[in-house]
Amino acid sequence: MASESAVSDTVELAELGERPMRRRTLSEDSQSGYSAKTWNSDSDQFEQNFKDRGVWSSKFDFFFACLGYGVGMANFLRFPGLVFKNGGGVFFIPYLLMVFLCVIPIVYLEMIIGQFSSASTLQFGRVIPLFQGIGWAMFIVTFFTIIYYQIVLSWVVYYLFSSLTAQLPFGHCNNTWNTPGCRTISQWNLTVSDDKHTIAFNNGSINVTDVTARTPSEEYFRFFVLAESGDIGILGEINWRLALSLLFAWACVFVVLFQSVTSPKKVIYVTVVVPWLLMIVFLIATAMLPGSSIGFRYFLSPNWDKISQASTWTDASSQAFYSMGPCFGGIMTLSSYNKFKYNIQRDAILLALLDTLTSFLSGLVVCGSLGVLSFKTGIPITELSISGSGLTFIAYPDLFESLPAAPAWSAVFFLMLLLLGFSSQLTMSESLVTSVHDQLPKSSRNKRFRFVIFSCLCIVGSCLGLLFTCQAGIYWFELLNNFAADWNLLIIAIFFSLSITYCYGWRRIAVDVQFMSGNRPSLYWFSSWFATPFLLSVSGETCWPFSIERLGLPSCTNPIGCLV
């Protein structure tokens, strides 16, 4: 037992800026489970740690940075497709349950750890040395995600530049890559020829024997932008157009990240606010087209048969985590730049609400466009063979021919997607860079070494990303997209919540939160933190064994996905 004189000892914790100094007695530490050694740190060193890292100049900067990180292309590329696949409106039930029971509590927990410790992912061992591997797992998953996420940005960049023409190349069937099965929406009921068609590509060619009727946007995406080889084992040639777009996307990331994470405020606000405004504009434009109500009804009407399927709950879990971005390390990194006394509880809740609202709006936009496509072609919306990543790059571009000034609409649409993806990519890249930078000796933590780290990340990312610019790149993309950041995130979330709640201790978390904000967490937070690992374990059981065949890939690629 501590002596009476030892209990009366105090430690002064000095805080940066407007943070008042608070005297915290060792008796409080003993009651909460802390040892005296935990708080016997020099106050000057405590303050200097914050000065070295820097802080957000405004609470709005932090909030918009987190919002830009959470709201990204996953809201457009993944969420509408999952709703389309899992019975329409019934998908909202498991999705919202996972958001409020698991995702929000883990987001808040990650914010607490980041703000209290002022640590990035690779420094997670400072909190619980036994679970240092959790930080490394976050780092590795983020690295893989950045690599394949950037290829989506390159698609968007290519579409954006392709839209700067008088006539959209994916708005008609008079191109060299079009097959006899190409039909615009107005020509959909015409007879399809069954002749074999050869499409020139670089120095070779692609033989297309499948003459199923397709829209110009589908053929543009599959046969020109991707130039699909038809098999993951046939790597094919590098598409130099996509390669240049990939380099351009990495150059944009490098230019912004060369500055400190707390500097590019204007970039943060633009990449968050502008896409929201444009999304509302596109929703209004879609609603004015005939047939959009078909898509809206399907999006909102529940198919109750899907609610009992395990895959629906698995997709809801993975999408909730992928969209909000917990367990990637980005939230922890952004929170580490917070002022120590900042109240982050309201931010965690608001971020979840706005991210869910964004997913809902994007789902209306994409499914509304599917309704228009169904109305004009006469094909029931449930039978439209559009899924996966191509949903956004095929479904909505088909509508541009129905709108006046189609190239302008197309350019604005892909600019919106670029801003959405750019904001998330910036934070994930910053998370990696900050993690490596914090591992360096303090004498080496300067802009010169940050420049070296940025350069290495961009060079390595560009080289590895060339795999996805090959003719088989889309298959490798789907492989990583479904293995690297789905099941892995659930596993990390389980161990993260277990380590903090049961090893670090819920009492310590309560004291830490009260020390920072003045209020203890409510019963909702404690009950969610205790229940989250078990809820995620039940959800994770349905993820394995993973059915690789549903991606259209051979079963031999399953071990590769498991290794990832």
Contact 110, 428 (CB under 8 A): no
Judged on CB neighbours under 10 Å (0-12, 13-18, 19+), 244 is middle
Packed helices 406-439 and 59-70: angle between N→C axes, nearest 10 degrees: 110
Strand partners, 13: 22
Query: Measuring CA to CA, which residue among 414, 167, 406 is closest to residue 278?
Result: 414
Strand partners, 88: 302
Judged on CB neighbours under 10 Å (0-12, 13-18, 19+), 305 is exposed
User: Residue 473, annotated ligand binder?
Assistant: no
User: Residue 71, annotated ligand binder?
Assistant: yes
| Helix-then-strand count for the chain, H and E | 25, 4
Rounded to an integer, what distance in angstroms lies between the CA atom of residue 10 and that of residue 26?
Answer: 6
User: Residue 260, annotated ligand binder?
Assistant: no
What is the distance of C-alpha 347 from the center of its chain?
18
Rounded to an integer, what distance in angstroms lies between the CA atom of residue 348 and that of residue 340?
Answer: 16
Torsion of CA 176, 180, 182, 186, to 10 degrees: 120
Rounded to an integer, what distance in angstroms lies between the CA atom of residue 502 and that of residue 153?
Answer: 40
For residue 200, the 8-state DSSP code is E
Give CA separation, 482 vs 110, 180, 234, 389, 495, in Å. Answer: 24, 33, 20, 11, 20
State the number of CA atoms in the 13 A half-sphere of 147 facing the CB: 26
Torsion of CA 274, 277, 282, 287, to 10 degrees: 170
Give CA separation, 421 vs 330, 361, 393, 414, 521, in Å. Answer: 14, 16, 14, 10, 33
User: Residue 424, annotated ligand binder?
Assistant: yes
**Residues annotated as binding site for Na(+)?**
68, 71, 75, 323, 420, 424
**Residues annotated as binding site?**
68, 71, 75, 323, 420, 424
